[in-house]
């Protein structure tokens, strides 16, 4: 099997992303030659508006494809790939359809196959792109603004969800709680991480901060198995603020409060993973690696907690580079490559394939 070129497109949410990968199936070496992204700025709206995201992709995708293919052609010779990989879902229908339709059109025009790739599969497989130590079976904790999910993977096509959030994602909770206590920025979870960096003990006694009743949801024996849950953290922060408006706190109390909220949210993640491990230890027996990816995986306190709690279960902890963790076309290209190779190149989507919302 010879070297092949892949054009990858991802438009499931608000990032228009196009990548070019050069893959050698024999050596399993894959080079990312291009990784381009145009992000819709949704900060002013306070969130993503589906119609705006749809319009954004319509305006950006074709020229981004042109930019990538032209650069590849000028630098490496050919601007025509052997395979096109595109996100099929889950995501917003309008956004997905822009990427899928462009991929279909290019597939017809160039007479090359295309593969519709599951977005979550992209997140799960991309750590294997440049870390050959991530071997089957492995466990992934995907923690971002949109996901909080624990998955056990045994092969390219075999993934079991061990735990997922029943409401919002961990990053979303960090962002919303941070905003409630007055932090501002594009990524409040990241601000919160930075702000609390020098707090040694988040649970240090304080007559005011002690009034916050932070939960650790679904950890009672009966609700043990239900999943992660983060919505209650926001409620408890709101209730505390009603009692103690932010401007009445000293600077030290404010920081202690921030650190305590952050710690409680991260502790919830680790507690719930602990329950899964205790409940089904056999699932983890052969898994040497824990991959932690997504925006929240940048948090050093989360990394520390995971390594402290699960060092007897996993011998390796992997944190893929953040530009591969956030939504990007490289992960779609790589997941498509793993599927393509696994099927000895006998896999392609039909031209009538539709986007999948879920």
Q: CB under 5 to 8 A by kind: which of Zn ion, ligand KG4, none does 272 bind?
A: none
> Which x/- pattern over 131-150 shows residues binding Zn ion (rule: CB under 5 A)?
--------------------
Q: CB under 5 to 8 A by kind: which of ligand KG4, Zn ion, none does 295 bind?
A: ligand KG4
Cα–Cα distances in angstroms (integers) from residue 160 to residues 90, 157, 340, in the given order: 17, 10, 21
Q: Which is nearer to ligand KG4, 106 or 329 (CB)?
A: 329
Token duo for residue 193: 């991480």
Using CB under 6 A as the binding rule, whether residue 89 contacts ligand KG4 is answered as no
Using CB under 6 A as the binding rule, whether residue 296 contacts ligand KG4 is answered as yes
Site for ligand KG4 in 158-187 (CB under 6 A): 171-172, 174-175, 187
Site for Zn ion in 311-340 (CB under 5 A): 327
Q: Determine which residue in the list 89, 145, 333, 355 makes contact with ligand KG4, applying CB under 6 A.
A: 145
Using CB under 6 A as the binding rule, whether residue 333 contacts ligand KG4 is answered as no
Closest CA to 332 of 1, 16, 19: 19
Stretch that binds ligand KG4, among 94-102, 141-149, 204-212, 241-249 (CB under 6 A): 141-149
96-99: Cβ within 8 A, 24+ apart = 96/11, 96/12, 96/355, 96/356, 96/357, 97/355, 98/11, 98/54, 98/57, 98/58, 98/61, 99/9, 99/10, 99/11, 99/12, 99/57, 99/61
Q: Which is nearer to ligand KG4, 36 or 208 (CB)?
A: 36
Assess contact for 148 and 169: CB atoms under 8 A. yes
Q: Determine which residue in the list 163, 263, 327, 338 makes contact with ligand KG4, applying CB under 6 A.
A: 327
Q: Report helix, strand and coil shares of the chain as percent, to nearest 5.
A: 45, 20, 35
Q: Which residue is nearest to Zn ion (CB)?
A: 327
Site for ligand KG4 in 187-206 (CB under 6 A): 187-190, 193
Q: Which is nearer to Zn ion, 167 or 341 (CB)?
A: 167
Size of the site for ligand KG4 (CB under 6 A): 20
Burial of 215 (0-12, 13-18, 19+ CB in 10 A): middle
**Distance of alpha carbon 74 from its chain centroid, rounded?**
33
Give the CB-side neighbour count of residue 5, counting CA atoms within 13 A: 17
* Contacting residues for 267 by C-beta, under 8 A, at least 6 apart: 216, 305
Using CB under 5 A as the binding rule, whether residue 15 contacts Zn ion is answered as no
Q: CB under 5 to 8 A by kind: which of Zn ion, ligand KG4, none does 258 bind?
A: none
Assess contact for 224 and 276: CB atoms under 8 A. no
* Contacting residues for 126 by C-beta, under 8 A, at least 6 apart: 293, 320, 324, 325, 330, 331, 334, 335
Q: Which is nearer to Zn ion, 31 or 357 (CB)?
A: 357
> Which x/- pattern over 266-295 shows residues binding ligand KG4 (rule: CB under 6 A)?
----------------------------xx
Residues 16 and 221: their CA atoms lie apart, in Å, by 44
Residues 206 and 300: their CA atoms lie apart, in Å, by 25
Closest CA to 351 of 156, 131, 112, 140: 112
Nearest distance, CB of residue 119 and Zn ion, angstroms: 6
Q: CB under 5 to 8 A by kind: which of ligand KG4, Zn ion, none does 175 bind?
A: ligand KG4
Q: CB under 5 to 8 A by kind: which of Zn ion, ligand KG4, none does 265 bind?
A: none
Q: CB under 5 to 8 A by kind: which of ligand KG4, Zn ion, none does 336 bind?
A: none
Stretch that binds ligand KG4, among 206-214, 248-256, 308-316, 323-331 (CB under 6 A): 323-331
Give the footprint of Zn ion on this chain (CB under 5 A). Answer: 327
Give the footprint of ligand KG4 on this chain (CB under 6 A). Answer: 144-146, 171-172, 174-175, 187-190, 193, 294-296, 298-299, 325-327
């Amino acid at each position: 099997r010879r070297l092949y070129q892949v054009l990858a497109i991802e438009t499931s949410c608000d990032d228009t992303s196009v990548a070019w990968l050069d893959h050698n199936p024999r050596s399993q070496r894959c080079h990312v030659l291009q990784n381009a992204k145009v992000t819709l700025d949704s900060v002013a709206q306070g969130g993503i508006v589906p119609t705006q995201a749809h319009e954004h992709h319509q305006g950006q995708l074709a020229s981004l494809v042109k930019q990538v293919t032209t650069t590849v052609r000028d630098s490496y010779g050919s601007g025509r790939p052997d395979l096109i990989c595109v996100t099929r879902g889950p995501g917003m229908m309008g956004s997905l359809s822009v990427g899928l339709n462009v991929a279909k059109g290019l597939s017809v025009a160039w007479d090359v196959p295309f593969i519709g790739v599951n977005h979550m599969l992209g997140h799960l497989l991309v750590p294997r792109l440049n870390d050959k130590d991530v071997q089957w079976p492995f466990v992934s904790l995907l923690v971002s603004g949109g996901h909080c999910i624990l998955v056990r993977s045994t092969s390219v096509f075999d993934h079991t969800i061990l735990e997922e959030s029943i409401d919002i994602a961990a990053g979303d909770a960090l962002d919303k709680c941070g905003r409630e206590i007055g932090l501002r920025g594009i990524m409040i979870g990241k601000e919160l991480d930075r702000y609390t960096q020098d707090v040694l003990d988040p649970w240090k006694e304080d007559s005011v901060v002690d009034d916050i009743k932070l939960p650790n949801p679904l950890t009672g024996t009966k609700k043990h198995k239900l999943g992660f849950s983060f919505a209650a953290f926001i409620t408890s922060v709101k209730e505390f603020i009603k009692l103690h408006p932010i401007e009445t706190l000293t600077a030290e109390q404010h920081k202690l409060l921030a650190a305590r909220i952050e710690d409680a949210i991260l502790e919830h993640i680790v507690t719930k993973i602990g329950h899964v491990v205790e409940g089904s230890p056999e699932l983890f027996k052969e898994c040497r690696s824990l991959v932690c990816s997504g925006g929240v995986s940048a948090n050093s306190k989360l990394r520390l907690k995971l390594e402290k709690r699960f060092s007897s279960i996993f011998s390796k902890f992997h944190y893929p580079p953040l530009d591969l963790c956030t939504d990007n076309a490289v992960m779609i290209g790589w997941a498509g490559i793993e599927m393509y190779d696994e099927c000895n190149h006998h896999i392609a989507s039909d031209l009538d394939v539709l986007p999948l919302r879920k």
